[in-house]
Amino acid sequence: MRKLIPCIFILVLWFGCDDNLISPLADIPQKTIEDLSHSPVDWISFSPDGNYMITASPEDETSWSNIIVRNVSNYKFDTTTKYQIPDTFITRQFTMVYSGILTENFKTTEKYFIVGRRAGANIYEFRTTGTANLFKSILMSGEVVKLALYNDSLLVCGNNIGAIKIWDLKNDRLVRSITAHTGSISGILITQNGKTIITSSYDNSIIIWRVSDGKALHTMYHDNSVTGISISPDEKYLVSVGLDKNIHLWNPISGDWYRTIKDNDWINAVAFSPDKSTIATGGDDNIVKLWDVSTGKKIIAINNHSGRILALAYSKDGKYLASSATDKKIIITEMK
């Protein structure tokens, strides 16, 4: 029988620090919230109001065993819902990432979430029971490894062979199919007006697409696989990270290069802060780093994980930064 190792939630309060490195986990205030599972959490998102956090962790390499929703208001971190998803549907990209979306309908009566799967994506109704009710399936070749949703109607799916499909959910129709990249999709963004899509891939490229005709407008490159992208709330900056240990800042409209920040190890995750001032990154050195957008300088390094970082997410108000790693921990840091 395989040995099960618990995954724990830890709450970290950051009240500011002049040093460049926060002290190790044992030396700072912490709170163990709950044993979660024996597997690393591969995906994190916050609800639009910031009151809930949803995470996903696998049972093994072919299943998604735990989708957990927590009430994060007032640092309660109470578990409100747990789901089990059938392992025959869910896909994993290598051993790192699942696709999934916590939609803008999270707080309405029409609650649902979308999960990437083999040969498509599944839309599940969001219920308070422990069973995720399948609402609809969308078909796509390959394994859907990344998703993005615009205005609860436009869904973009990206697969492990570099293709993307754009779906009109309200009218239940396929808008467009694009052979986008020669490697697996690693990130998808939709701009606020819904007219532009930005994709990244393990083929070392980032491409800006026009939705109306599927035309590639601009292509940018890393020297190695691109592992993630994020866009500032004002859409002034696009940030990309990769296995070349670089953090690139781009103009998300023109594709023009602004700045490169050099890191010291592979970077696996990136997130823009809601106040537009900070970029959070995490990589194989087990450290979450915060970077000043205007100067490109490192603000602080949060050295609380003992495994490589898998996922990062800011709450919508920027109050919390959540990180997960192969050490099977999720750490919530309060930004002050």
Distance in angstroms (rounded) separating the CA atoms of residues 238 and 257: 9
The answer on pLDDT for 25 being more than 60 is no
DSSP of 136-187: EEEEEEEEEEEEEEETTTEEEEEETTSEEEEEETTTTEEEEEEE--SS-EEE
Q: Which of 68, 83, 84, 85 is nearest to 33 (CA)?
A: 68
Higher pLDDT, 4 or 195: 195
Which of 5-19, 182-196, 266-280 bottoms out in mean pLDDT, i.e. has the lowest? 5-19
Q: Which region holds residue 318: left if phi is over 0, alpha if psi is between -120 and 50, else beta?
A: left
Distance in angstroms (rounded) separating the CA atoms of residues 332 and 49: 17
Tell me if 126 sits within 8 A of 135, measured CB to CB: no
Amino acid, res. 94: F
Higher pLDDT, 76 or 334: 334
Predicted confidence at residue 35, as pLDDT, reads 42
Predicted confidence at residue 75, as pLDDT, reads 60
Question: Model pTM?
Answer: 0.82
Residue 100: DSSP 8-state: E
Q: What is the pLDDT of residues 131-151, one digit of tens each?
A: 667 777 888 888 888 888 887
DSSP-assigned beta bridge partners for residue 52: 71
Which of 46-50, 56-60, 227-231 bottoms out in mean pLDDT, i.e. has the lowest? 56-60
| The CATH number, out of the four listed (2.130.10.10, 1.10.1060.10, 3.40.50.460, 2.40.30.10), of the domain defined by the range 8-334 | 2.130.10.10
Instruction: pLDDT band for 316, please (50, 70, 90 cuts).
Output: confident
Burial of 315 (0-12, 13-18, 19+ CB in 10 A): buried
Tell me if 207 sits within 8 A of 180, measured CB to CB: yes
Q: What is the pLDDT of residues 62-119, one digit of tens each?
A: 454 567 777 776 666 666 666 655 544 444 332 222 334 444 444 444 566 777 777 8
DSSP of 223-292: SS-EEEEEE-TTSS-EEEEETTSEEEEE-TTT--EEEEEE-SS-EEEEEE-TTSSEEEEEETTS-EEEEE
Distance in angstroms (rounded) separating the CA atoms of residues 293 and 275: 11
- For the chain, the domains span 8-334
Q: What is the pLDDT of residues 181-232, one digit of tens each?
A: 999 999 999 999 999 999 999 999 999 999 999 999 999 999 999 999 999 9
Q: What is the pLDDT of residues 228-263, one digit of tens each?
A: 999 999 999 999 999 999 999 999 999 999 999 999
Residue 73: DSSP 8-state: G
The answer on pLDDT for 20 being more than 60 is no
Predicted confidence at residue 241, as pLDDT, reads 98
Q: What is the average pLDDT across 279-301?
A: 95
Q: What is the average pLDDT across 296-312?
A: 90
Higher pLDDT, 296 or 41: 296
The answer on pLDDT for 7 being more than 50 is no
What is the dihedral sign for C-alpha 248, 47, 151, 149? positive
Predicted confidence at residue 96, as pLDDT, reads 23
Q: How far is CA 275 from CA 50, 103, 232, 284, in A?
A: 14, 21, 8, 26
What is the dihedral sign for C-alpha 327, 86, 313, 196? positive
Q: Which of 212, 213, 217, 182 is nearest to 198 (CA)?
A: 217
Predicted confidence at residue 10, as pLDDT, reads 37
pLDDT over 90 percentage in the chain? 42
Q: Mean pLDDT, the chain, as a whole number?
A: 77
DSSP-assigned beta bridge partners for residue 238: 231, 250
Distance in angstroms (rounded) separating the CA atoms of residues 203 and 102: 27
Tell me if 177 sits within 8 A of 165, measured CB to CB: yes
Higher pLDDT, 179 or 106: 179
The two three-digit tokens of residue 290, written as one number: 């915060």
The answer on pLDDT for 26 being more than 80 is no
Higher pLDDT, 130 or 228: 228
